[in-house]
């Protein structure tokens, strides 16, 4: 089997060590000859990459390791770009979450005004990565999970229509892992699903076993009372208390359309006031992550680098991230794996805008994804999705045209924002906070 060269863009991400451990655990499925770390914050990346070097040296010393902040060095001679950048880092995530809360509006990384604010920063960063890849390794594919994925995906569709980029989200993977546990299955891969929506905005319409037997009734019996809540001692990435609350809240989201299973993120659109009430405006998810995951990962990384050994390390393989290997293998070996991806609708949802970026099951092979038809969707979901896709498209148009007006319209149109006056006041706050990142709006 061919050995691959990979660049991890956003090398300093808190998720990098877990993904590296996962890649090393999957070398029989996806052989690797080189791993490069690329970031635009050298000091932050050094902490993570120096530890990853030790990890790789212990487990697979034959793999060549490169850490760099130079795009040419990073993007030359690679087969895959695994991209998880956060433009503005946690400091700006904190702003995205806290500024809307001042107005009693949902403060969230990817949903509502916070997601739009992050989107306006992220688009430029991701386009830059696409351009480096096309310049230095034109045959490579980018596997992108940089957020807000819905807006980033629309931006690459519109502004880089020929880019070899696959946009993917891990939330459905995590939810399917929970569903599998609820159903008593040993793996989510025992399920076959039908699903439609936008990123962080979708519904499962069918879940069967591989023989075609309907698993929905058993799942519904659990979800109507408990949402996706289970015994979380073994739940992987999403184990924090706030995530457990999210999985419980699914009960209320489910109640609105009980013939389907919902994505967790719909709670921000269907119960925005409940979320605002639950949130401490002085200590949001960004604070939890900085005090939790970031502190843990960085402390461990520093210790590994200092000792030049992983002995006693509590860094764990991010098992659920093996979907990234599934995706890379689908491209590399033309496996035809069935996966949920964020792709141009183009008829997959027959009564929905053809150019919308939708999340649907796709068959993935060496030439990319082939979306599977999901047919007509009901009026309730269609109405919600039309409003939300308009928000996402308006944000991208606002970015491309540097238009204040369109961004104001986008904010006003979001279900999370009560009226145009609040939208404008909040927009003006966000412009000020993002002065170093957003294009100057006219």
Residue number, 275 or 429, with CB nearest to Mn ion:
275
- Report the partner that residue 44 touches, choosing among ligand G6P, ligand NAD, Mn ion, none (CB closer than 5 to 8 A by kind): ligand NAD
169/229 with CB nearer ligand G6P: 169
Q: Is 111 annotated as a binding residue?
A: no
Closest CA to 179 of 237, 236, 220, 238: 220
Decide which of Mn ion, ligand G6P, ligand NAD, none touches 15; Cβ closer than 5 to 8 Å per partner kind: ligand NAD
Q: Retrieve residue 205's tokens.
A: 């319409």
Q: Is 89 in the site for ligand NAD (CB under 6 A)?
A: yes
- 115 with 41: CB under 8 angstroms? no
Dihedral pair phi/psi, residue 314, rounded to 5°:
-105, 10
Binding residues for Mn ion (CB under 5 A):
169, 171
What is the rounded CA–CA span in Å between residue 428 and residue 423?
Answer: 9
Interacting residues toward ligand G6P by CB under 6 A: 110, 147, 169-171, 285, 289
| Residue among 103, 195, 254, 265 flagged as catalytic | 265
Binding window for ligand NAD (CB under 6 A); candidates: 41-49, 134-142, 250-258, 308-316: 41-49
Residues 133-152, interacting with ligand NAD (CB under 6 A): 145-147, 149
Residue 265 annotated among the catalytic residues of the structure:
yes
Measured in degrees and rounded to the nearest 5, phi and psi for residue 370 equal: -115, 110
The span from the CA of 130 to the CA of 143, in Å, is 11
Q: Which does 349 bind (CB under 5 to 8 A by kind): ligand NAD, Mn ion, ligand G6P, none?
A: none
Q: Verify binding: residue 17, ligand NAD, rule CB under 6 A.
A: no
Binding at 324: pick from ligand NAD, ligand G6P, Mn ion, none (beta carbon under 5-8 Å per type): none
Measured over the CA atoms of residue 36, residue 69, residue 86 and residue 243, the dihedral's sign is positive
The backbone torsions φ and ψ at residue 54, rounded to the nearest 5 degrees and listed phi first, read: -65, -45
Residue 38 annotated as catalytic = no
Number of amino acids touching ligand NAD (CB under 6 A): 26
**Does the protein bind ligand NAD through residue 44 (CB under 6 A)?**
yes
Q: Residues with Cβ < 8 Å from 342, sequence gap 6 or more?
A: 149, 150, 153, 167, 168, 169, 198, 199, 357, 358, 359
The DSSP output letter for 190 is G
Three state DSSP letters for 292-357: HHHHHHHHHHHHHHHHCCCCCCCCCCCHHHHHHHHHHHHHHHCCCEEEEEEEECCCCECCCCCCCE
78 makes contact with ligand NAD (CB under 6 A)? no
Residues 114, 281 contacting (CB under 8 angstroms): no
Nearest Cα to 286, choosing from 129, 86, 94? 94
Q: How many CB atoms lie within 10 A of CB 436?
A: 8
Bridge partners, residue 365, by sequence = 368
For the chain, first and last CA: distance in Å?
Answer: 53
Side-chain half-sphere exposure of 401, counting CA atoms within 13 A: 11
| The entry of Mn ion, ligand G6P, ligand NAD, none that residue 285 binds, CB within 5 to 8 Å by partner kind | ligand G6P
Binding site annotation covers 320? no
**Which segment (4-12, 227-235, 240-248, 399-407) binds ligand NAD by CB under 6 A?**
4-12
Kindly tell me which residue out of 170, 318, 359, 429 binds ligand NAD, with binding defined by CB under 6 A.
170
Near ligand NAD by CB under 6 A: residue from 107, 113, 115, 125: 125
Q: How far is the CB of 114 from ligand G6P (least distance, A)?
A: 12
Q: Is the bond leading into 360 cis (omega within 30 degrees of zero)? A: no
Tell the smallest beta-carbon distance from residue 148 to Mn ion (Å).
8
Shortest approach of ligand NAD to residue 111 CB, angstroms?
Answer: 12
Dist CA 289 CA 86 (whole Å): 13
Q: Give whichever of 220 and 293 is closer to ligand G6P, judged by the CB atom.
A: 293
Q: How far is the CB of 202 from Mn ion (least distance, A)?
A: 11
169 has binding-site annotation: yes
Is 87 a binding residue for ligand NAD by CB under 6 A? The answer is yes
Of 84, 157, 393, 406, which lies in the binding site for ligand NAD, with binding defined by CB under 6 A?
A: 84
Q: Is 285 annotated as a binding residue?
A: yes
Is 93 marked as a binding-site residue? Answer: yes
Residue 191, beta-bridge partner list: 209
Q: What is the closest distance, in whole angstroms, from the C-beta atom of residue 146 to ligand NAD in the complex?
A: 4
Measured CA to CA, the distance from residue 148 to residue 130 in angstroms comes to 16
Selecting among 96, 170, 318, 326, the annotated active-site residue is: 170
15 in contact with ligand NAD (CB under 6 A): yes
Distance separating alpha carbons of residues 334 and 350, to the nearest angstrom = 27
Nearest of 333, 334, 352, 332 to residue 344 by alpha carbon: 352
Which positions make up the binding site for Mn(2+)?
Answer: 169, 200
Residues annotated in the binding site for substrate, as ranges? 93, 147, 285
* Binding-site annotation: residue ranges: 93, 147, 169, 200, 285
What is the binding site for ligand NAD (CB under 6 A)? 9-10, 12-15, 39-41, 44-45, 84-87, 89-90, 125, 128, 145-147, 149, 169-171
Residues belonging to the active site? 170, 265
């Amino acid at each position: 089997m061919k050995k691959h060269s990979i660049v991890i863009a956003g090398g300093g991400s808190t998720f990098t060590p877990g993904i590296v451990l996962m890649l090393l655990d999957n070398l029989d499925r996806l052989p690797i000859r080189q791993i490069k770390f690329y970031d635009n914050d050298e000091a932050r990346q050094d902490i993570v990459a120096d530890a990853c070097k030790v990890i790789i040296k212990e487990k697979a010393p034959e793999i060549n390791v490169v850490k760099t902040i130079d795009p040419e060095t990073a993007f030359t001679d690679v087969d895959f770009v695994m991209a998880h950048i956060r433009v503005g880092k946690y400091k700006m995530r904190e702003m995205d979450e806290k500024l809307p809360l001042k107005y009693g509006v949902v403060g969230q990384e990817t949903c509502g005004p916070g997601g739009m604010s992050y989107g306006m920063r992220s688009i430029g960063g991701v386009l830059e990565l696409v351009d480096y890849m096309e310049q230095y390794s034109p045959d490579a594919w980018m596997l992108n999970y940089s957020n807000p994925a819905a807006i980033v995906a629309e931006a690459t569709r519109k502004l880089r229509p020929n880019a070899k980029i696959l946009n993917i989200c891990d939330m459905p993977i995590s939810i399917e892992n929970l569903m599998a546990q609820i159903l008593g299955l040993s793996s989510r891969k025992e399920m076959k699903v039908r699903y439609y929506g936008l990123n962080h905005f979708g519904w499962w319409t069918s879940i069967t076993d591989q023989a075609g037997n309907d698993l929905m009734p058993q799942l519904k019996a659990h979800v109507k009372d408990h949402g996706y809540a289970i015994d979380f001692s073994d739940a992987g990435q999403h184990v924090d208390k706030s995530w457990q609350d999210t999985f419980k809240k699914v009960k209320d989201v489910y109640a609105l359309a009980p013939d389907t299973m919902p994505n967790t993120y719909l709670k921000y659109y269907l119960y925005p006031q409940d979320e605002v009430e639950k949130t401490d405006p002085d200590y949001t998810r960004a604070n939890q992550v900085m005090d939790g995951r970031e502190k843990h990962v960085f402390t461990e990384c520093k210790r590994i680098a200092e000792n030049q050994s992983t002995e006693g390390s509590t860094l764990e393989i991010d098992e659920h991230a093996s979907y990234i290997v599934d995706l890379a293998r689908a491209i590399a070996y033309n496996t035809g794996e069935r996966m949920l991806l964020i792709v141009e609708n183009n008829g997959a949802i027959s009564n929905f805008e053809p150019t919308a970026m939708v999340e649907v099951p796709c068959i993935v092979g060496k030439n990319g994804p082939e979306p599977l038809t999901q047919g007509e969707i009901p009026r309730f979901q269609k109405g919600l999705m039309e409003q939300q896709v308009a928000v996402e498209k308006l944000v991208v148009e606002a970015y491309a045209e540097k238009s204040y007006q369109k961004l104001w319209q986008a904010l006003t149109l979001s279900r999370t924002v009560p009226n145009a006056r609040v939208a404008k006041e909040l927009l003006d706050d966000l412009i000020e906070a993002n002065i170093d990142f957003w294009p100057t709006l006219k």
